[in-house]
Amino acid sequence: MTLTALVIDDSETLRAEILQILKEASLFDSYLEACDGLEGFKVLLNNRVDLVLCDLEMPRMDGFRFLAMMRAREEFQDVPVIILTGREDRDTKIRGLEQGASDYLTKPFDAGELVARVRVQLKVKSLQDELKRSNDMLRTLSITDPLTHLHNRRHLMEMVEKEFQRASRKGAHLSLIILDIDYFKKVNDTYGHQEGDRVLTILADIVRRRLRSYDLAARYGGEEFVLLLPETPVHEALPIAERLRLEVQEHIFDGSLQGQVITISLGVATYPSPRIESIDSLFRQADEALYRAKQSGRNRVELMAGVSPAKSEHSEV
């Protein structure tokens, strides 16, 4: 990964001196410069920067204002800023540190001290970035089903609650699809659990390809999956479910499952509806529709009770 430094100072001579020191120390791969805080902030907005060296006293926008604008933007929170100041007074340095500066240097400065302080800030940033990556990975693992790599049930319920509240507040549609693999126990009993797991992962891949960017899919338990479709009325959710059913039915398996046809049954429920007043009733309506699909011969899509039959005729196999 390349490292980039941004040097902000109204003195062209001092900028050139700082850049020369940094280049001789081979601390960065690329270097940017600006003559004041306003120009520096524009450079920051248009480039990925790993460390900023910024003068305090500059025309148009001084270092304090630059710091305030940086810290107001989340994407710049972790970018270290070393303040350069000609002032020796303690209050100025404290104010800079309190406004988000990572360190400061008093001008005129020693080249060796500048390099040492930059190295320290780069090391701190590297450790912070690594910690952030680890936390992001842990977060991903905590909300992901380890086999299918879809979301897990816990995360699904968190998102259902958020989307249900949003739909209630805005009067928007929210559709829920529960799907179940037909005769999955027979697959496990005949071909073994390893092949059963392969069926689950293939189904998860098909689901993932079919979903839109704002939809959510989760493994609900065993061979059961749930699809959460925000901003989706029933007449849009139904074809999504039907296309998914057909794609699973038409999938060609290899290996020991070669020649086998795996099918799924699906139940669809949509809020708002007179039959749905809560998350529990949303799940119950979808689950009852899934049960009817199973009872009606499997490999089919059924809608929640109360939906016009004209809208459900396309669900028949």
Burial-class residue 288 by CB neighbours within 10 Å (0-12, 13-18, 19+).
middle
Catalytically active residues are: 223
Q: Are 58 and 9 spatial neighbours (Cβ–Cβ below 8 Å)?
A: yes
Please state whether beta strands 216-221 and 103-106 pair in parallel, antiparallel, or not at all (unpaired): unpaired
Please state whether beta strands 301-303 and 264-271 pair in parallel, antiparallel, or not at all (unpaired): parallel
Please state whether beta strands 174-181 and 264-271 pair in parallel, antiparallel, or not at all (unpaired): antiparallel
| CA–CA dist 275, 281 (Å, integer) | 7
Q: What are phi and psi of 294, to 5 degrees?
A: -65, -45
Tokens found for residue 33: 């410069």
Find all residues with CB under 8 Å of 278, minimum gap 6, and list them: none
Sort residue 140 into left (φ over 0), alpha (ψ -120 to 50) or beta.
alpha
In the 3-class helix/strand/coil scheme, how is 110-153 assigned residue by residue?
A: CHHHHHHHHHHHHHHHHHHHHHHHHHHHHHHHHCECCCCCCECH
| CA–CA dist 244, 216 (Å, integer) | 14
